[in-house]
Amino acid sequence: MNSSDRVVSLNAPARPNGSGAAAILSAGAGSFALAVLAFAGDKSALIKSSLVFYKPTGPLSGVTTAAILTWLFTWGILEWRWRKRTVAAGRISAIALVFLGLSLLLTFPPVVDLF
């Protein structure tokens, strides 16, 4: 196939990237939810006791379950809203990276001990 046979139009509509952006942003939101719930469970006895879904694992069972539900719910809503749209993937990725960075900070013991 000759390269001149392929025509690239500058006016062609962009392919929708909403599904991918929804997956990226929801992953960031899920990781942030995990960090916030772990932090809250460490600092509050009431939250800690309410996060015990399975006694042998303690509050970790509730933290991970709630974080996974947050991730799936966020992904579902964003996928539904963005599936046929083209969104600013760079901006979405930056927001997801901020969520991920905050998640890492909130799970780092010296940072958590400041609160």
**Whole-number pLDDT of residue 36:** 94
pTM, 2 dp: 0.81
What are the respective helix, strand and coil percentages of the chain, to the nearest 5? 75, 0, 25
According to DSSP, the residues that pair with 58 across neighbouring strands are: 54
> What is the spatial distance between Cα 27 and Cα 37, in angstroms, rounded to a whole number?
15
**Whole-number pLDDT of residue 68:** 97
Instruction: Calculate ∠ Cα 51-49-43, nearest 5°.
Output: 90
**Whole-number pLDDT of residue 112:** 77
**Whole-number pLDDT of residue 114:** 79
Amino acid occupying residue 73: F
Residues of the chain with pLDDT under 70: 1-13
**Whole-number pLDDT of residue 99:** 97
Nearest C-alpha neighbor of 74 from the set 11, 12, 32, 17: 32
**Whole-number pLDDT of residue 10:** 66
